[in-house]
Amino acid sequence: MTYKWCVVPQCTNTSIKTPEKMFVNLPPNTKLLKKWLILSRRNPKDIAAKSHAFMCEDHFNMEKDMANYTQYQMGFSKAIIMVKGAMPSKFECQLDRKRRLSDPTMLRTAYIKRLKTNIYQETKAEPDVPPGTSALNDDSDIPQMSEETLIPTYCDNETSTEPISSVDKQI
């Protein structure tokens, strides 16, 4: 078995360190090789077209980019055959390429505008209430309860939970 290492900068996968990984030969086509190296942020002049260099499976979507993926996984094929036009697209090992879901310093103006528009439309749809009154003070649909039903009192033989009206202080 030959020693293989991934040519992508900052990728530490090798055939010794990670023997379970697949390593894809760089394409012999010089134009395609140049595209692969530029995508991986490696200088194309550093690697000769006829060199035996590899990229590991971490940089590809192997199920879509590999023509014989199922056969290779099942052991029916020893060679890795890539689909025509397959390009490396995953570079999580390069920390400066990690995509952020949103930049915390950037204002999300479209979202804020949508919120303001929704609030405006909701308030516009509410019925007009004269100044000094509130729609929240309309108690017509709430049943009236007496104070006795609002504050339950529980009595048993030993304790009472009725409110205490006065307390005598003794020293």
Distance CA 118, CA 132 (A): 25
For the chain, the domain total comes to 1
User: What integer pLDDT is reported at residue 44 of this predicted model?
Assistant: 85
Assigned domain for 70 exists? yes
Classify residue 54: in a domain, yes or no.
yes
Domain membership of residue 134 (yes or no) is no
Position 65 in a domain: yes
**pLDDT over 60 (residue 29):** yes
**Residue for token pair 């000769």:** 48
The answer to whether position 1 is within a domain reads: no
Q: What is the pTM of this model?
A: 0.53
Does residue 130 belong to any structural domain of this protein? Answer: no
Domain membership flag for residue 98: no
* Angle at alpha carbon of residue 23, lines to 21 and 28, rounded to 5°: 170
Q: Is residue 145 part of a domain?
A: no
DSSP sequence for 142-156: SPP--HHHHS---B-
pLDDT, tens digit (0-9, with 9 covering 90-100), for 102-120 = 556 566 677 778 888 888 7
- The whole domain housing 79 covers 23-90
Instruction: State the residue for tokens 């009192």.
Output: 153
